[in-house]
Structure 1
Amino acid sequence: MALKRQLGLKKATKAKKQKTSADDATSKPVNTVTPEGLASEEQQDQITIELGEDIDAEDEISQLVALYDTWKKSPQESPKPLLFGVIHECDRLLRNEDAKSPLPVGFHNIYALSLLDMAEFAEKSAEKVSKKNKKKQDKDQDVSKPKEDTSDAFIKAAIERVTLGLEKHKNSPVLLLTKAKAKVALVDDMMKFCASDARYQTAKAAVSILSDAVKDYETAEKTIEASSDSQFRDLIDEKQLDTVKNILEISEALGALEEEEEEEEEALDSYQSDNNNEESQAIVRMANRGLGEFYLAKAYPFLAAIEGDDDDEEGEEEDTAEQTTQAKALMEKSVEYLLKAESEADPDFYVVIAEAQISLGNLHDSDSEDQKALYSEAIARLHKAERAGVGRFDELIAELEDDM
């Protein structure tokens, strides 16, 4: 087992303050912590958390915030002692919680975020194990299934922690946004580690979780809008951006389902109707791009099947016609949203739109006006990308022009 610090943060702070006062009465208070997981006294002496003058050295929650901030600012290549220290300190504060003085929002939020951080490292470990044992895997053995100490367990623990926090701090936007983030992480985890033959059913189960994440986000947004605390609003803006982006991006993993698209479109419509400034429009463009790429991902299996049928002399024309109809509907939606996300500030995205337009054009009859129009728009965007220095597309442009 890893070593535990001998003093709580509060006692360690007092001890350090006494020593510091003896050496230099004018120096700032420094809080020395010994997080769980440090192997030696030498390592322990290297971990110091400096508290600003505006932070009460007697306030253990402020010290916890400082410890977590120090962890977030450190190189995060592995779950280093600082992260173990944050979780260990959260456990200690929870054990000592006074029923008359419940722990604040910040405690529950940091605890949940720390568990999500641990999930990222556990996930990486699970992926390494999965790749290493892939060739040795037996038919009845699923080595990618999350174990008790992998990402699945940490994410669920984070959701449980933030849920308990919301019982005491109802509709806290900070906790709701963290809960939405955790649910998105859970969906991502489910899709990454499910067996290929179970992907469809797993994706169906993920839809309800994603729907809950959208609702958590919307509740947080309404609470923020009703708040008169401008500093509180500024604190959440970036979190809103991340939440919207993640909720939309995770949809790409949900495969060929029809039900989930309503959730993403409702979230986007809500955000568009409530926000019209330049910063919000950047978020809307990002959301439109997420939806465009989502429909592109949904269309991909049909596009691949159509290409396969072209190479298969025994392919049935009726099946191909149905697949073409489905692919065309999805690609039209994809192009629609991708065009809404177009921006001169992102010339690389011209190529993404052009490729989508070419794919849609390929689904139309050869030499049809629809096909020619799509190819023409694609060529125009490829030229814009070239002028912006993205790359050269001479061969592709020439090929498209020959087909027009």
Structure 2
Amino acid sequence: MPRPRGLKGSAMAKANKKTKVQEPSSSTEMPENAQTVVLDKVVEEGDEVGEAAALYESAIEKLEIDPNAALALIRGTIHESDRILRNLEEDATLPALFYCTYGSALYELGRLTDEEEFEPYLDAAEERLNQGLTTEDDVANNVHNKIQLALAKIWLAKAASAVSEGEQAVPELSVRALETLDKAMTDVQVPSKTIIELADIVQNHGDLYESIESRDKFRNWAESALNSVLEKEPENASALSGLGLCKLSLANYYLDNLDDNDDDADEEDDDEEEEEKEVLNEKEQQAYQAILDSKKYFEAAKQELVKIDKVSPQVLSDLAETLLNEANLVLKEEDQVEIYKKAVENIKEANTLIEEKKLDFILPEALTSFLEEFEA
């Protein structure tokens, strides 16, 4: 059967911004359920700053499973923070936690809005976070560390615009972000979930560059961070999946360069069926090894999720993509067909999961098209 094109780029498209939800209005109205959410957290009565922080924490908890609800809570956080500032008595001060919460909420809201509106949110978030670094209170040191992590994410997002405009050298802002992350993660113990999120952001930032040297700077950082999680939590499915995406990104880079080689091939190849190859060339072998590494991590992540009955269509989709790319580089047709079958199994499993649990997840079009092709 004919070899379909690889799915280069679909995993790489998981960019610095989260999945968009809805067009945000200029209003930051308080969600109706905001007070209930706050009361579910341990907050002292009358602690308005603590309530805003609890509201933001609830928003982050909902971000992956219900982005629309998270968006409402993030807006509520900003609404409450605005109100606290408006009602602040003259000469009164606010703790670092307030500015950390306010700035982080602005950043997250920016990630859920249109691309062209991201920059103003980043500027506002950076301003609030920097204000938090000037405050001193009983827990300021720990909060200052969180602020540094948030600032690093903002700097990577700002640097991304320079890269997308054609500048392929690593901007100073990106270097500053990595240095800040290194210091902040050395000073205190950062939760695994935060490390995995940071690794994802850093990895996706690296995918913006064309040169392998620039990309490696960020991919290597992400892989090191994820491996540090696995050293303590070898069964962490999110870290395993993150490493799978790092390796798949590397494979996609090599696959993109294979296309460059194709442009230099003899024109007669366009009119003749390509002869069956006996060995892979150097770049194909590099891509193939990265794909195998990626598959290993995705399969391990899936295995861990099966144990706790939390398999997601995302990991099934990523695994299917990796399998298709592997099949495209396998030399023997019978081996290729067997790998295609495994990819089909994962695509169907993802579809079943989406249908049964009524999940708000859409498989990449390339996967659904391949499934239709294969079954035809």
> Which sections of structure 2, spanning at least 5 residues, go unmatched?
1-25, 63-67, 271-279, 304-314, 350-367
* Contact 1:350–1:381 under 8 Å retained in 2: no
Q: Does 1:52 align with 2:39?
A: yes
Q: Does 1:339 align with 2:308?
A: no
Which residue does 1:204 correspond to in 2? 169
Which residue does 1:105 correspond to in 2? 96
Among all aligned residue pairs of Structure 1 and Structure 2, give the percentage whose two residues are the same amino acid. 14
* Contact 2:119–2:158 under 8 Å retained in 1: yes
Q: Does 1:382 align with 2:369?
A: no
* Contact 2:324–2:340 under 8 Å retained in 1: no
Counterparts of 1:3-402 in structure 2 under 5 Å? 37=27, 49=35, 52=39, 55-65=43-53, 68=56, 75=69, 82=76, 85-89=79-83, 91-92=85-86, 96=90, 98=92, 103-120=94-111, 122-124=113-115, 126=116, 150-168=117-135, 169-170=140-141, 172-190=144-162, 194=164, 198-199=165-166, 201=167, 203-206=168-171, 208-225=172-189, 236-273=191-228, 275-278=230-233, 281-310=236-265, 312=267, 327-328=283-284, 331-332=287-288, 334-343=290-299, 344-345=302-303, 346-361=315-330, 371-372=331-332, 378-387=336-345, 389-390=348-349
Cα distance in 2, alignment partners of residues 347 and 378 from structure 1: 19
TM-score (norm 1): 0.57
Which residue does 2:18 correspond to in 1? none
Cα distance in 1, alignment partners of residues 268 and 253 from structure 2: 26
Cα distance in 2, alignment partners of residues 160 and 352 from structure 1: 40
* Contact 1:49–1:66 under 8 Å retained in 2: no
The alpha carbon displacement at 1:297 in A equals: 3.5
Change in 2 beyond 3 A, CA 1:262/1:93: farther
TM-score (norm 2): 0.60
The structure that has the greater radius of gyration is 1
RCO (CA 8 Å, sep 6+): is it higher in 1 or 2? 2
The alpha carbon displacement at 1:396 in A equals: 6.6
Cα distance in 2, alignment partners of residues 45 and 387 from structure 1: 41
The alpha carbon displacement at 1:155 in A equals: 1.0
Cα distance in 1, alignment partners of residues 175 and 158 from structure 2: 13
The alpha carbon displacement at 1:113 in A equals: 1.5
The alpha carbon displacement at 1:158 in A equals: 1.9
The alpha carbon displacement at 1:178 in A equals: 1.9
The alpha carbon displacement at 1:107 in A equals: 1.0
Question: Counterpart amino acid of 1:75?
Answer: A
Q: Kindly provide the CA deviation profile for residues 85-116 of structure 1, in whole angstroms up to 9, marking residues without a partner as x.
A: 23523643788564xxx533321211112221
> Which sections of structure 1, spanning at least 5 residues, go unmatched?
1-35, 127-149, 226-232, 316-323, 362-370, 398-404
* Contact 1:285–1:341 under 8 Å retained in 2: yes
Question: Counterpart amino acid of 2:154?
Answer: A
